[in-house]
Amino acid sequence: MAKPLLITAFEPFPGVPDNPTETLLRSFAELDDDILASARCVILPTQYDLAPARMLEALDFEASAIIMTGYSNRATALTLESRSTSASLPDRPDAAGFCPAPSDAPVVIHDTRLDLASIVAALTAEGIPAEISDDAGSYVCNHIYHAALGGPCHAGGIPGLFVHIPALPGTPLAATAAGTMSLKDLQKGMGIIARMVIAN
């Protein structure tokens, strides 16, 4: 039996009372898509201390791959993050009000080993806007991506990718977001991404 795919999303955080990644993941169970419908979906707290631990705990069942999702008000497409860094924002609190302490330590960078250009090409061929980013931010999204790429995706060889998504149309976030994408297109795009990540 094939190992299942792990997909993560985030709970609300300051400024984002309804996280579209949570809405997206909760929709997978009803889809006519065997990969997404059978994936193990985990909603992570948007907290520096808890999110990486919960993600790594979820990986204990030996996933075939991990796809992490997060919301970005700058996203206008499915944004595939090529790398993570050890940098954190000392002035942006997480959902528990915690801010990481400033650090003078050298920044450590981890790169995904996936062929992101091929994934973007597959998405755009199906009419799904997609792009590659080399800046996953310095918030909890980047924090869990760094934990994944520096841990199970490196030592365990598990394919891993972080995807930032835009706001959903008609939601309060859409009023201030750089872009929106329909739930249907997000689902279709995630199905394409999932298959290509697993096949890596």
Six token digits for residue 162:
């972080």
Residue 28 has phi, psi (to 5 degrees) of: -65, -35
The pLDDT assigned to 102 comes to 83
Kindly compute the dihedral angle of the four CA atoms of residues 139, 145, 149, 155, in this order, to the nearest 10 degrees: 110
pLDDT averages per 10-residue partition of the chain, 200 residues: 84 96 97 94 97 90 89 98 91 93 88 97 99 96 95 84 98 97 99 95
DSSP 59: G
Which two structure tokens, joined as six digits, stand for 20? Answer: 């579209």
C-alpha span between 138 and 161 (Å, rounded): 16
* Locus of tokens 């528990």: 96
Predicted local distance difference test score (pLDDT) of residue 3: 72
Q: At what angle do helices 183-199 and 116-125 cross, to 10 degrees?
A: 140
- Quote the pLDDT of residue 1: 43
**What pLDDT score was predicted for residue 90?**
82
Q: How far apart are CA 187 and CA 151, in angstroms?
A: 28
Specify whether 141 is catalytic.
Answer: yes
- Domains of the chain, first to last: 5-199 (3.40.630.20)
Q: Enter the pTM of the model.
A: 0.96
Q: CA-CA distances (angstroms) from residue 200 to 27, 168, 175, 194?
A: 25, 29, 37, 10
Q: Which residues is 41 bridged to in the sheet?
A: 7
**Catalytic residue from among 41, 99, 141, 153:** 141
Residue type, 191: G
Type of residue found at 92: R
